[in-house]
Amino acid sequence: MKTQHIAAAVLALSLGTAQADPFAITYTSTIANSTIPEVLNGQRYSVTLVLNNDWDITSNQEWNNAEDVACVIWRMNDAGNVVFAQRWGGAGAPNPIEITGRAATNAASQLTEVFGMVRHENVPAVLPANKAWANLAAPVEAWFANGANSVFNTSSGNFHDPAGGVQMTPARWTNPVPYAGNCLDTTAVPIAPGGAGGNVAAVPTLGHAALALLGALVGGLGLRSQRRKHS
């Protein structure tokens, strides 16, 4: 097989893979009935689930264990300047994140299922090393992504979603995209307009092994081309 054909085959087989294990899906909506002074009614909020099942592909995948939810990031206000992030503490950590159902994608890396619930009702028990926040005056007590309940509770108040809670339907969440950041980074990130996730397609990238093989093949092709020129 010609080198060009091998390289093309590697590229084709690598679509849907990513350079990092974790992927993120995000829900965006509007803050309602807030009794938290720092969280502003009528502005946007988002909740991002960072998922990791130790696979490097977004196509035909599923995340069905609480341990697959590596991190949950809440951002409040249009400026995204009120932040709470919590990561899974690993085996034996107290009060792990609770889930029902699973998240899953099809062959085109589109989100076809999202968890029925992701919640944590006892945030104070989380080890300090596994949570971080910015611009919250009162401690976070609980959060709920489950289509019901107030969605975010501190000791000073809470806020709701006008839809009645975080909507756990695939159409309201983005498709998985590679996530290479620090789960506990509380830097303010403005939240894009729009109430729905939009199911934005994940951008297919090459895994490390595929990149290395493709680079070697392309390099070999270039060397052969140079040799022909000089012969």
84 φ/ψ angles, rounded to the nearest 5 degrees = -135, 130
Judged by average pLDDT, the poorest of 58-62, 162-166, 218-222 is 218-222
54 φ/ψ angles, rounded to the nearest 5 degrees = 70, 20
Q: Which residue has the higher pLDDT, 212 or 25?
A: 25
Judged by average pLDDT, the poorest of 7-11, 37-41, 92-96 is 7-11
Q: What is the pLDDT of residues 147-176, one digit of tens each?
A: 988 999 999 999 999 999 999 999 999 999
User: What was the pLDDT predicted at 199?
Assistant: 40
For 57-79, b/e burial (b = at least 16 CB within 10 A) is: bbbebebeeeebbbbbbbbbbbe
How far, CA to CA in Å, does 148 sit from each of 133, 143, 151, 182? 24, 11, 8, 29
Residue 43 has pLDDT above 70, yes or no: yes
Residue 220 has pLDDT above 90, yes or no: no
User: What was the pLDDT predicted at 55?
Assistant: 82
Residue 2 has pLDDT above 90, yes or no: no
What's the whole-model pTM score? 0.78
Q: What is the pLDDT of residues 91-147, one digit of tens each?
A: 666 667 899 999 999 999 999 999 999 999 999 999 899 999 999 999 999 999 999
User: What was the pLDDT predicted at 95?
Assistant: 61
For 141-151, b/e burial (b = at least 16 CB within 10 A) is: bbbbbbbebbb
Q: Which residue has the higher pLDDT, 19 or 64?
A: 64
Residue 231 has pLDDT above 90, yes or no: no
